[in-house]
Structure 1
Amino acid sequence: MPKDYGIGASSKRREDVRFLSGLGNYTDDVVIAGQTYAVFVRSTVAHGRIVKVATEAAAAMPGVLAVFTGEDFKDVGGNPAGWLINSRDGTPMKEPKRPVLAHGKVRHVGDAYAAVVAETLQQAKDAAQVISDETEIEELPAIIDMAQALADASNRVHDEIADNQCYDWGWIEDNRAATEAAFKSAPHVTTLELVNNRLVPNAMEPRASIGEYFPGTGDYKLTTTSQNPHLTRLLVAAFVLGIPENKLTVVAPDVGGGFGSKIYHYGEEALVLAAAKKLKRPVKWVAERSESFLSDAHGRDHVTKIELACDKEGNFLAFRTETMANVGAYLSNFATVTPTFLHGTLMAGPYKVPHVYVNVKTVFTNTAPVDAYRGAGRPEATYSLERVIDKMCRELNLDPFEVRRKNFLTTDMFPYTTPVGLVYDTGNYQATLDKAIELGDVAGFEKRRAASAAKGKLRGLGLSTWIEACGIAPSNLVGILGARVGLYDAATVRVNATGNISVMVGAHSHGQGHETVFAQVVAEQLGVPESSIEIVHGDTSKIPFGMGSYGSRSLAVCGSAMTKAVDKIIAKGKKIAAHMLEAAEGDITFADGKFSVAGTDKAKTFGEIAFSAYVPHNYPLETLEPGLEETAFYDPANFTYPAGAYLCEVEVDPETGKVEVCSFTCADDFGNVMNPMIVEGQVHGGVGQGIGQALLENTTYDENGQLLTGSYMDYAMPRADDVPFYTVDASCITPCTHNPLGVKGCGEAGAIGSPPAVVNAVIDALHRGGHTHVKHIDMPVSPSRVWSAMNA
């Protein structure tokens, strides 16, 4: 029977009660006495030299309290990249300053160069419009195309960077000669050039920030839409505004989605704090959706050439890739690691390929910054691999299922060190493929294809087998690789005198269900009701220093810290129980919420021990402090490696090129599953985003750097009728071997495995329909692109 309590139970998400009843507390819901309003003045040109920012008229308008320009911040720090990446020749990356407000030049449409603070939002908007109308900006040619940006040194996004290149990275450089030799001697080489299209994250809640300053103490408070409050505090305090970190509190209340775009620090957060100090009043800014399209960090945007060397039977000999990755106008916090160590290190996939070499050139352009978006590097790697494998299978007339199966790592090979430097601890890729074939009824595909043909439709079947590295770790390794922060996490477990429990966690919940799942884990460990456990997150004044939520790390890293803190609670409880029960500590056992003397009926409940810790009348005070509160930090020994097999079936209308996803099957290995319902929901969401990338979404700039897809009228977000009902299974379990819960991570899987499955299905449908000249169609595989490919 399914569990109805603790680990493994599909407990309903407790946070949904307030979300669905309109009782959430989002940043825009926060109203503070004396609150003022900020509006940013954003560039309408992609590239230009600022001649004059006209502020005089705006400053004199009714209700205007202050006007800020880039000149006000030119002497403060800039928002740094989180990773220092070296080029393959050993030189460090080019790292231009990213200011709070642009000065000297504007570098993308939407680049903020001034801000107005006024008594009302409308007054601030009116003044901002006057500044925009009267400011002089000398427009320069926009740099949009990456290849052209590298080729033309006369036009520069940053004047000090002659080639518009951040770095030219090779991984692993020692593999390069052996990989090239493998290609020279290979019986067959498949080459594919492809694009990982740029995406706009489009979280349900736009970014918002409120800055407060308290002159009596010199303290600051930032309420903001952040996935990572402690990182935001660190960046603002130490690098941008230069204020003592202990004087800044960052609070991220309910946050309506992030998908990566709210990990980073943005200049608006620093501006509202600086303005609050100047005015001695709270300053609030809430983005409009059009601002989000222009200024939030975008995702993906790679152009890749991938080559696969193999023998005539389809045994893999080597992979080689060359990628241009767009970082946009400035380096966002994770922009440099996403196309390198989160991408290049996954280019072996779940396969026993002997040789891999990856080259990535990152390019500055006059577009919005690009950073981590759900999956962050792993979707780009998986898409390249799974598309080139399918192309090779068609060239050699081989079965794509059997080719993958014969190249899989087998269970007796773990732990396995890949040629791109990761150590996979465990996995069973054959099992997930078998499960997908069973659940997707591959045996019945021909019957379904015939039924589609009878309707005049072309039906195709696409496969993707994927692996990801998540729960980024360990700190000593990533430090060697260029990370500028540690990647541990922390939790504090406070047992109150009456037995209820507060758990303060460094992870942040913005849709993942932490308040439910973390409580399930603690309830299981302590044998207490889930309802007695409160999960506290998102407030740096309450929680221990943690690294937030992204990269499917919350449960694997922060959850592990939490379980270690609970272990400390239990260990102290045993000492108290031994004293109260007049027994040796070694004879005390703990199970089902009771401390017992082994072999006897003598026992104390968890509640009795907790009460004794706070009312220590019968307590070992000579050896033990009162109270029952413990903190643990956890720095993982390795990444976790979830993996899976995805099947997609599509119908293509040959008259219009329209693609319909008929079915989608996911067989995943997430290690031990804490809450099956929440895991299923995470996969559903990820697959929905992956289908969106494959078929619909695309961020398009014109040659002048104007965003042509700047609203939902132009940017094709997937709707409910664009996705099918999914078949999702996570019963293939190989527990992670190096964290106490045996969990791997599930939040990004759907977005990683789904795009190649969809595109492979479309190409399969066209080939089965006689259009064998179509080798590849770039995402999004829109009706116009499909129709054009069919009729080329």
Structure 2
Amino acid sequence: YTTSQNPHVARLVLSAFIGIAPEHKLRVVAPDVGGGFGSKIFIYAEETVCVWAARKVGRPVKWTAERSESFLCDAHGRDHVTHAELAVDGKGKILALRASTKANLGAYLSTFASSVPTYLYAPLLSGQYDIPAIYCEVDGVYTNTAPVDAYRGAGRPEATFVVERLVEIAARETGTDPAEFRRKNFIQSFPHQTPVIMCYDAGDYAACLDKALELADYKGFAARKAESEKKGKLRGIGFSAYIEACGIAPSAAVGSLGAGVGLWESAELRVNPVGTVEVLTGSHSHGQGHETTFAQVVSEKLGIPIEQVSVIHGDTDKVQMGMGTYGSRSGAVGASAIVQAADKVIEKARRVAAACMEVEVDDVDFEDGTFSARGTNKTMTFGEVALQAYVAHKFDTSQIEPGLKEGAFYDPKNFTFPSGVHIAEVEIDTDTGETRIDRWTAVDDFGVLINPMIVEGQVHGGIAQGVGQALLEGAVYDENGQLLTASYMDYAMPRAQDFPHFEVAMLSTPCPSNPLGVKGCGEAGAIAAPAALINAITDALGHEDIAMPATPQAVWRAIRKSPAMMAAE
């Protein structure tokens, strides 16, 4: 039992290290683990030691990390120093972007440490903008700190932060409204090939911006700013027009970058004689609601009540093989595999139904859970066909194999590209440096929505994590490499009381590269939030001299550098 986002990969690695062969003799179970966020993708040394020790002593061994051990040993997320430039012509059109990044990798290389600041970072430096030329160089640096790897967005938040800070500064320096500067430079037509590998397949960036401006009451901001000034406080507004490449899977893409493994996903649908369905998926659910979403997909596809669908995951003895959950891939890749398996089930069920109704297969239609013979009044429900598939006395078993069970492996041809616009509005206390988030507007395009409530919950959680990075969270080391923030006494995180009501809206341009038209949503909030919040803070301060985390102390010091404060002094 382990808290892994990809139990099959854990089995593969653990069995190889410990010498268990064949690997299926090792069973790995990853139940609901209370969240992953990327840090549970990797195989940690403690997992290997526990399995080795259990074999050595012949008894179960349980290990639970203390909180301080987690802070010291779990992979940390992003530690970049970036110098970037944006070239803009006299008409406000972006001409080029150049970035140079030093990426801390920690004391040793973690699983995806080299790909996060390269493959998941540099190719997203185009953002939502039509930028003709982009140059990026990344130097990986080893330090005596915890390993740095995929966590809360993995590369995409870093890219979004660079692009959106540059765009915001460019708008201010050219005297252009930041919303209109973005609109002027948005990509207008699709597909769009960026200078940095990615081919964006669909989107409507201006529509998201317009909706966000409306919901945020952008026109009323000046009046709210004036009210804050009357109270002796600063008020600022900041934008983040983000895009991400997710649905991490295309084997051809990752193979071209040197990865020695395909990133497909698997699914199997087992239809029982009574018409209930078991869905076995290689995707892993650790809080995202896959059990509900996947059941909805199958329920709608087969026309059966959702109560008749059960979803099985996270157990290598039950699911043959899977690549797990990360990079917002479960809907675009995992659910697409389920759809393919369901299509195979329907096709076989049509053959069974045709034999039972004594008509040609091509004359059988399937809709809303019912098979009907064209030109007749003959019909069979999905459950009736399932029973006949196992009873198997109304068809020739030499032509149709009894039973109703199908599997599929799905490997997409492209990433998915969710996008959107987040607008943060803050009020800052000039005496204490405390930043209060007054309003938050998020308009996202996740393609087709299977379960809007689950999607909105994912957005809320992502924003909270992005706000944490922007305002409070950070691993602090002393000059000797000693971690000073190794407990929640020192590592600060935002609480519910620190957030306003989130104004969330969804627009939809279906993704053309998967059968459901879905895009990923799990990381969007964490990707968009840091840039929106820092842009809002710098707008309030009147200068750009602040870095994350923008703690009250950091903001208080930055206020002393603001033009208004310096003039007063």
- Shared fold (TM-score, shorter chain, > 0.5): yes
Question: Shorter-chain TM-score: which interval?
Answer: over 0.9
Corresponding position of 1:169: none
Corresponding position of 1:442: 218
Please tell me whether the aligned partners of residues 325 and 339 of structure 1 are also in contact (alpha carbons under 8 angstroms). Answer: yes
Count of matched residue pairs: 561
Per-residue deviation, residues 84-106 of structure 1 (Å, max 9, x unmatched)? xxxxxxxxxxxxxxxxxxxxxxx
Answering whether residue 490 of structure 2 is matched by residue 721 of structure 1, we say no
Equivalent position SS for 1:491: strand
User: What is the CA distance between 1:544 and its match in structure 2?
Assistant: 3.0
Corresponding position of 1:756: 531
Answering whether residue 348 of structure 2 is matched by residue 572 of structure 1, we say yes
Q: Structure 1: how far apart are the matches of 2:299 and 2:555?
A: 52
Please tell me whether the aligned partners of residues 20 and 26 of structure 2 are also in contact (alpha carbons under 8 angstroms). Answer: no
Single out whichever of 635-644 and 308-317 deviates more from structure 2.
Answer: 308-317
User: What is the CA distance between 1:239 and its match in structure 2?
Assistant: 5.1
Q: Structure 1: how far apart are the matches of 2:90 and 2:171?
A: 10
Pick the aligned partner of 2:148 from 362, 370, 373.
370
Corresponding position of 1:777: 546
Equivalent position SS for 1:575: helix
Corresponding position of 2:54: 276
Corresponding position of 2:509: 734
Answering whether residue 243 of structure 2 is matched by residue 474 of structure 1, we say no
The 3 A distance-change label for structure 1 pair 319 and 240 is: farther
Single out whichever of 399-408 and 568-577 deviates more from structure 2.
Answer: 399-408
User: What is the CA distance between 1:467 and its match in structure 2?
Assistant: 0.4
Q: Which structure 1 residue ranges, 5 or more long, are not aligned?
A: 1-222, 768-773
Task: Map 1:255-270 to 2 at 5 A.
Answer: 255-270=33-48
Task: Map 1:43-62 to 2 at 5 A.
Answer: none
Please tell me whether the aligned partners of residues 238 and 244 of structure 1 are also in contact (alpha carbons under 8 angstroms). Answer: no
User: What is the CA distance between 1:243 and its match in structure 2?
Assistant: 4.1
Equivalent position SS for 1:327: strand
Q: Structure 1: how far apart are the matches of 2:20 and 2:84?
A: 44
User: What is the CA distance between 1:309 and its match in structure 2?
Assistant: 0.9
Indicate the structure with greater helix content: 2
Answering whether residue 270 of structure 2 is matched by residue 494 of structure 1, we say yes
Corresponding position of 1:348: 126
Equivalent position SS for 2:148: coil
Please tell me whether the aligned partners of residues 164 and 531 of structure 2 are also in contact (alpha carbons under 8 angstroms). Answer: yes
Please tell me whether the aligned partners of residues 17 and 48 of structure 2 are also in contact (alpha carbons under 8 angstroms). Answer: no
Answering whether residue 22 of structure 2 is matched by residue 247 of structure 1, we say no
Corresponding position of 2:567: none
Please tell me whether the aligned partners of residues 492 and 544 of structure 1 are also in contact (alpha carbons under 8 angstroms). Answer: no
Q: Structure 2: how far apart are the matches of 1:579 and 1:640?
A: 41
Answering whether residue 16 of structure 2 is matched by residue 238 of structure 1, we say yes
Please tell me whether the aligned partners of residues 491 and 544 of structure 1 are also in contact (alpha carbons under 8 angstroms). Answer: no
User: What is the CA distance between 1:620 and its match in structure 2?
Assistant: 2.7
Corresponding position of 1:166: none
Corresponding position of 2:85: 307
Corresponding position of 1:62: none
Task: Map 1:187-198 to 2 at 5 A.
Answer: none
Task: Return the letter of the residue paired with 1:289.
Answer: R
User: What is the CA distance between 1:450 and its match in structure 2?
Assistant: 2.0
Answering whether residue 401 of structure 2 is matched by residue 625 of structure 1, we say yes
Q: Structure 1: how far apart are the matches of 2:90 and 2:161?
A: 23
Corresponding position of 2:360: 584
Equivalent position SS for 1:595: strand
Q: Structure 2: how far apart are the matches of 1:571 and 1:278?
A: 50
Task: Return the letter of the residue paired with 1:404.
Answer: R
Q: Structure 1: how far apart are the matches of 2:289 and 2:249?
A: 23
Please tell me whether the aligned partners of residues 18 and 52 of structure 2 are also in contact (alpha carbons under 8 angstroms). Answer: no
Q: Structure 2: how far apart are the matches of 1:647 and 1:360?
A: 29
Equivalent position SS for 1:283: coil
Please tell me whether the aligned partners of residues 273 and 283 of structure 1 are also in contact (alpha carbons under 8 angstroms). Answer: yes
Q: Structure 2: how far apart are the matches of 1:649 and 1:478?
A: 38
Q: Structure 2: how far apart are the matches of 1:542 and 1:330?
A: 35
Q: Structure 2: how far apart are the matches of 1:304 and 1:239?
A: 38
User: What is the CA distance between 1:480 and its match in structure 2?
Assistant: 1.5
Please tell me whether the aligned partners of residues 462 and 648 of structure 1 are also in contact (alpha carbons under 8 angstroms). Answer: yes
Please tell me whether the aligned partners of residues 576 and 620 of structure 1 are also in contact (alpha carbons under 8 angstroms). Answer: no
Pick the aligned partner of 1:600 from 376, 391, 407.
376
Per-residue deviation, residues 707-744 of structure 1 (Å, max 9, x unmatched)? 111111111111111111101111x2110001000001
Corresponding position of 2:566: none
Per-residue deviation, residues 20-57 of structure 1 (Å, max 9, x unmatched)? xxxxxxxxxxxxxxxxxxxxxxxxxxxxxxxxxxxxxx
Task: Return the letter of the residue paired with 1:631.
Answer: G
Task: Return the letter of the residue paired with 2:256.
Answer: I
User: What is the CA distance between 1:454 and its match in structure 2?
Assistant: 2.2
Task: Map 1:501-512 to 2 at 5 A.
Answer: 501-512=277-288
Corresponding position of 1:550: 326
Equivalent position SS for 1:647: strand
User: What is the CA distance between 1:464 and its match in structure 2?
Assistant: 0.8
Task: Specify the structure having the higher radius of gyration (Cα).
Answer: 1
Q: Structure 2: how far apart are the matches of 1:300 and 1:333?
A: 14
Q: Structure 2: how far apart are the matches of 1:785 and 1:658?
A: 10
Q: Structure 1: how far apart are the matches of 2:559 and 2:204?
A: 38
Corresponding position of 1:75: none
Task: Return the letter of the residue paired with 1:789.
Answer: A
Please tell me whether the aligned partners of residues 541 and 558 of structure 2 are also in contact (alpha carbons under 8 angstroms). Answer: no
User: What is the CA distance between 1:247 and its match in structure 2?
Assistant: 2.2
